[in-house]
A = this chain, B = another copy of it.
Amino acid sequence: MKNKEIPYKIYLDEKDIPKTWYNMRADMKNKPAPLLNPGTLKPMKKEELAAVFCDDLIEQELDNDTAYFPIPEEIQEFYKMYRPSPLVRAYRLEEKLGTPAKIYYKFEGNNTSGSHKLNSAIAQAYYAKKQGLKGVTTETGAGQWGTALSMACAYLGLDLKVYMVKVSYEQKPFRREVMRTYGASVTPSPSTETEVGRKILAAHPGTTGSLGCAISEAVEKAVTSEGYRYVLGSVLNQVLLHQSVIGVEAKTALDKYGIKPDIIIGCAGGGSNLGGLIAPFMGEKLRGEADYRIIAVEPASCPSFTRGVYAYDFCDTGMVCPLAKMYTLGSDFIPAPNHAGGLRYHGMSPVLSQLYHDGYMEAVSVKQTDVFEAAELFARTEGILPAPESSHAIRASIDEALKCKETGEEKTILFGLTGTGYFDMVAYEKYHEGEMEDYIPSDDDIKKTTDKLPKVNL
């Protein structure tokens, strides 16, 4: 048995909750490409963005120079509700695997939203409130973001309209009910409430919706409602900025015990968790102060990093959102109905895309049956039922730990355990019943949608 001088859970004191967010862009030589106006395909100005987004958030979105943003006191107070989150040493998993590797995970699921999404939800709601808005609109797929935002809005007394992908709305009535408990209105998307919704319904009667479509509806609702703006739970630079609280806190806890990770692993859908977890480590790497292997893990069914192209693309189906330069499978790409709703997005954070393009990080894709095998092993050994999304990171971490077992290397692995799977038991049931399938798109499938990428000449 290993010497257990490091506690199972490293909890920082309340006073050690980060007081600044760290902006990786400040240390990047190649900055992420600017957002483009979907009409003109020219870089968007602040004024254009202001119809959609909150003013302060636009500042954060566009700022490629400021390394540290002070976290407003009100947000710090809210963070105290569920932060600091524990950094856990996975002694039991290590023992089960028989690996010499040391595995740590930063667990962001110990809050009612069930995931890390709350870190940015409260920030975005705060700035909306500060601007004197009545409310905000958003979309949600798996429901974690919608839940987080409903908690933040309830706390600040802001109205919230959520467009929930229809298939999730129907399959996850409990998620919907949690949002209602926090006072949000939840509409299945596509709906007849918006022009874009009606268009999509006319073109695809009986459609069960998609994230890209729900985004379009939420944006339209925001720009056509007095006193509302649109907020988004991933992809955007501002979201990665807020989520840096995960990485800064994790690094503070590791530093307290003099631990330096060799490998940092996170699941990647839009990139909010991974971008947040790696932030301070990537900062050191960008500044040449330290080196880390950083691995993004994505589903084999929606492999934007590993099989997509790096190009400008639409963020939504209705093409009302700004365009971003990112690794993408094409905005028309419909991922197979896998069970990691939060990772079913055709694109990827522009910041992470640039970093990946410049060789600062790696990416792997994993099959969902392998993911659930890892999830169940993790649940039984570590006692936490992980979300399917988070389990992608578990899978990759186990694979790295097993490599260490072969080589005998005592590597230190840090991964992000973004959330819990209490609302994902249908997926676990499918896995238990042997009914879970692996979907892997063919090269042709991907070519079909990437061939249709917009032509951009800057």
Contacts of A154 in B (CB 8 A): 380
Which one of B110, B151, B383, B425 lies within 8 Å of A174 (CB-CB)? B425
CA distance A11 to B420 in the complex (A): 21
Q: Interface digits, A74-116 against B, CB 8 Å rule (1 contact, 0 not)?
A: 0000001110000000001000000000000000001110100
Which one of B174, B178, B379, B382 lies within 8 Å of A181 (CB-CB)? B379
The answer to whether A379 and B177 have CB atoms under 8 Å apart is no
Could you tell me the distance in whole angstroms from the C-beta of A143 to the nearest C-beta in chain B?
Answer: 11
Per assembly, the copies of the chain total: 2
The answer to whether A80 and B8 have CB atoms under 8 Å apart is yes
The answer to whether B80 and A9 have CB atoms under 8 Å apart is yes
Which one of B14, B181, B183, B420 lies within 8 Å of A112 (CB-CB)? B420
Contacts of A423 in B (CB 8 A): 422
The answer to whether A177 and B383 have CB atoms under 8 Å apart is no
Is A155 in the interface zone, CB < 8 Å from B?
yes
Could you tell me the distance in whole angstroms from the C-beta of A361 to the nearest C-beta in chain B?
Answer: 31
Is A250 in the interface zone, CB < 8 Å from B?
no
The answer to whether B180 and A383 have CB atoms under 8 Å apart is no
Could you tell me the distance in whole angstroms from the C-beta of A3 to the nearest C-beta in chain B?
Answer: 14
CA distance A92 to B156 in the complex (A): 12
Which one of B9, B112, B426 lies within 8 Å of A379 (CB-CB)? B112
The answer to whether residues A422 and B180 also contact, given A7-B14, A383-B151, A384-B112 and a CB cut-off of 8 A, is no
A310-347 with Cβ < 8 A to chain B: none
Which one of B8, B181, B183, B425 lies within 8 Å of A81 (CB-CB)? B8
Is A359 in the interface zone, CB < 8 Å from B?
no
Is A45 in the interface zone, CB < 8 Å from B?
no
How big is the A interface, by class?
A: 35 or more
CA distance A351 to B399 in the complex (A): 50
CA distance A234 to B74 in the complex (A): 42
A1-36 with Cβ < 8 A to chain B: 7-9, 11, 13-14
The answer to whether B432 and A379 have CB atoms under 8 Å apart is no
Q: Name the CB-closest residue of B to A386.
A: B112
The answer to whether B9 and A182 have CB atoms under 8 Å apart is no
Could you tell me the distance in whole angstroms from the C-beta of A376 to the nearest C-beta in chain B?
Answer: 6
The answer to whether B177 and A425 have CB atoms under 8 Å apart is yes
Which one of B9, B81, B425 lies within 8 Å of A383 (CB-CB)? B81
Contacts of A178 in B (CB 8 A): 385, 422, 425, 428
| Given A112-B420, A177-B425; 17 other pairs, CB 8 A cutoff | A8-B14, A9-B14, A11-B11, A81-B383, A111-B384, A155-B381, A155-B383, A173-B425, A173-B429, A174-B422, A178-B422, A180-B429, A181-B379, A181-B385, A182-B379, A182-B380, A422-B422
What are 13 contact pairs spanning A and B, CB under 8 A? Answer: A7-B80, A8-B14, A81-B383, A82-B383, A112-B385, A173-B429, A177-B425, A177-B428, A180-B432, A181-B379, A181-B380, A183-B380, A422-B422
